[in-house]
A and B are shown apart, each in its own frame.
Chain A
Amino acid sequence: MNEALLIFGMFLVTFLARYPLLVIVGRVALPQRVFRALRYVPVAVLTAIIVPAMLQPAGRLEVSFTNAYLVAGVVATGIAWRTRGLLPTIGGGMLVFVLWRVLVPGAGG
């Protein structure tokens, strides 16, 4: 594998995702509908990353108490819902995750 080419290619496609719309959208008028759609982007994209990571941590569906990703993810969701704070969510979620994997038989990696 040509590592320099790999990194350059990854840089290029990533930058092409990040840059062009930043310049274009501010300068041409977009329909109101587009802006309404954009408000859903973070929720849609991030949830689409989170939910499979919780339910399918090893690629197959795993709805059980020994799935630490699911248990800690649900707890973190609860914390985030109640506190709306980033730090309690991240800290609390990671703590539950670590403890669950250490203490619950079968939940370790």
Chain B
Amino acid sequence: MIAASLPAPAATRPVEFINGIKDTLPMIVGAIPFAILFGALGTNAGLSPAAVAGMSLFVFAGSAQFIASGLVQQNISLVVIIITTLIVNLRHALYAASLAPYMKHLGQTWLLPLAFWLTDETYAIVIRRYARLEEAAPYKHWYHLGSAVAMYVNWQVFTWVGMFAGSQLQGLATWGLEFAMVVTFIGIVVPIIRTRPMLVCAVVAGGVAVLLNDLPNKAGLLLAAFAGIVAGMLLEQAAPPDSSRSATL
């Protein structure tokens, strides 16, 4: 610990914004195939091109869009699709709750768009920035903005690429592009599993998700996540992690 060093100068708004984009680049690599897949599948599922583009523009939630286009193809009713979307996206409420303490100084002009742009990827990137509690960093929300805008623009562009590619390339839907999302999430999750309760949380959540995979409307996802959280917390209570190894997200 250096005692008497001068504080580093605060990162400026543009620096934070650019760093937010840069740190999100790996996530963008993972989102590109997934956006292409959605663009291709959405049109194949019977959605109009306007609806495919509109869903990416206004809903902006990859896995929910993906699931919704599958339900459209099966002629599932509109109400059921919307309820399923809610369940699949409820995890964003948890992300929001986790980010909120770091964003309470922001006004609605920041909160509304940043809420709309909340994704797994941006959450995983920006929570690390927010949680770094150095003194002179008043513009972390610009970092957040950079990450969010980069994900959003990328998602729009490659939805369109997918719409055109889907009509040109036979069998794009069978290439397994959805694996890009899986591997992105692996890249997010594994490094933050640093304590035994975290590991148990992951094992329980994963196991329950497999067991309940057949429940309708992806209800198994939420139950599995809940089971994982409870398991992690119970273990943490039983044996508090020693401070040197405790995880900070």
Contact = CB atoms under 8 A, between A and B. Distances in A.
Interface string B149-185: 0000000000000000000000000111011111111
Contact of B213 (A56, A72, A84): A56
A61 to B, nearest CB: 7
Given A3-B50, A20-B96, A47-B202, 11 more contacts: A7-B59, A10-B65, A13-B86, A18-B92, A18-B115, A33-B233, A42-B123, A42-B127, A44-B226, A85-B187, A94-B33
B225 A2 contact: no
A103 interface: no
B209 A7 contact: no
Interface string A59-97: 101000000110011001100110011110111011001
Contacts of B232: 40, 43-44
A90 B26 contact: yes
A94 B179 contact: yes
B216 interface: no
B81 A38 contact: no
Contacts of B36: none
Interface of B: 25-27, 29-30, 33, 46-48, 50-51, 54-55, 58-61, 63-65, 68, 72, 78, 81-83, 85-86, 89-104, 111-112, 114-116, 118, 120, 123-124, 127, 174-176, 178-193, 197-198, 201-202, 205-210, 213-214, 220-221, 224-229, 232-233, 236, 247, 249
Contacts of B27: 86
A57 B208 CA distance: 16
Contacts of B205: 43-45, 47-48, 51
Contacts of B86: 13-14, 16-17
A14 B247 contact: no
27 contacts: A3-B48, A3-B51, A10-B65, A14-B61, A17-B92, A18-B116, A19-B112, A22-B100, A22-B115, A26-B102, A38-B97, A39-B247, A41-B95, A47-B189, A47-B205, A49-B63, A49-B185, A50-B182, A52-B210, A56-B210, A69-B176, A69-B182, A73-B183, A76-B187, A91-B29, A93-B179, A94-B180
Given A18-B116, A69-B176, A109-B176, A1 B236 contact: no
B198 A43 contact: yes
